[in-house]
Amino acid sequence: VLAIWHQLTKAEIPELAKCSVLMRDRSRVEDTIYAMQRAGAGRLQVISDFDMTLTRFAHNGKRVPTTHNILDHRLLIDEDCSKKIRELLNTYYPIEIDAGRTAEDKLPLMVEWWTQVHELLIQQRIRKDLLAQAVKESSAMLREGYKVFFDRLTEQQVPLLIFSAGVGDVLEEVIRQNNVFHPNVHIISNYMDFDQTGVLRAFQGQLIHTFNKREGALSHASGLRVLQGRPNVLLLGDSLGDLTMADGVSEHQNILTIGFLNDQMDERKELYVKSFDVVLVKDETMEVPNAILKYIT
């Protein structure tokens, strides 16, 4: 019987047969998708990372900015600060994606990176009312097919939890300007704290970085009412740290994890295939998640 189902999903989701799609265990993926389809949209939630997952990694050979990098705009920060932030990126990003180091090893270094950048941003007294313009003038870009993704989840009333170690205020502005900040979208991220005059004075709450999403999942996501009674999870991420974003889902039944492998492909391929159910290699589109969603809902 199972063999028939496998052919069924293969015929229904030909996108999974593309050579950029890697799977450790194809039949498990197909069984999970099939179980999710039987349970239906009413039992599903989608949990997604933001930077380099919902946004593109590169476009026309140029890196697309993360929410932090969007803040590197002459309206918001001076040249000296911009230089320091870039130096920090050059120091810490290679560590973040280093396949030779464990998450445990990277964790304190990520805290260092985020803390230093947030302090620099606070010193710049960034104005809330200029964020929208900075986003507008940035080269921020969601993945091809993003509209189908967001719109379908809204139509099917499936909650989308965006769980980001980026900057929440910037993230919201990016999805607002792309007309997909729908009511089913919920966000957990690092939000700015502005004083009464609208000047940045701190960041709110516990810092979220790439490798502590589990804590955020347990303290924030698990309390979200709209996610309750939805034991099936489609999880999207680009970092191994993103795999813990569903740790707050109690009584989960089926979890399908999709990982975008954007950078250091050769070094990280094995690790990604071992860790995510589906790995998308150098794929700048939402084609595969969209095809799976179309089948499930």
34 binds, among Mg ion, ligand C5P, none (CB under 5 to 8 A by kind): none
Instruction: Say which entry of ligand C5P, Mg ion, none residue 165 contacts (CB below 5 to 8 A, set by partner kind).
Output: ligand C5P
Work out what residue 93 binds among ligand C5P, Mg ion, none; the CB cut-off runs from 5 to 8 Å by kind.
ligand C5P
Which residues contact residue 151 at a Cβ distance below 8 angstroms, ignoring those fewer than 6 apart? 180, 182
Active site residue 51: yes
Please, how many CA atoms are within 13 Å of residue 236, restricted to the half-sphere of its CB? 27
Task: Determine how many CB atoms are found less than 10 A away from the CB of residue 123.
Answer: 13
DSSP letter assigned to residue 64: P
Name the residue among 205, 221, 202 with its Cα closest to residue 213. Answer: 221
Q: Comparing C-alpha atoms, which of 180, 291, 161, 148 is closest to residue 226? A: 161
Least separation in angstroms between residue 214's CB and ligand C5P is 13
Given ligand C5P, Mg ion, none, residue 72, with its beta carbon under 5 to 8 Å by kind, binds none
Binding characters for ligand C5P, 95-134, by CB under 6 A (x = yes): -x----------------xx--x-----------------
* # of chain residues touching Mg ion (CB under 5 A): 5
Active site residue 266: no
CA 144/CA 280 separation, integer angstroms: 14
Is 107 exposed, middle or buried, given 0-12, 13-18 or 19+ CB atoms closer than 10 A?
Answer: middle
53 vs 82 by CB, closer to Mg ion:
53
Q: Is 284 among the residues that bind Mg ion (CB under 5 A)?
A: no
**Rg of the Cα atoms in the chain:** 19
Of 53 and 232, nearer to Mg ion (C-beta) is: 53
Q: Which is nearer to Mg ion, 232 or 262 (CB)?
A: 262
Q: Looking at the annotation, which residues are catalytic? A: 49, 51
Site residues, ligand C5P (CB under 6 A)? 49-52, 66, 68-69, 89, 93, 96, 113-114, 117, 164-166, 210, 239
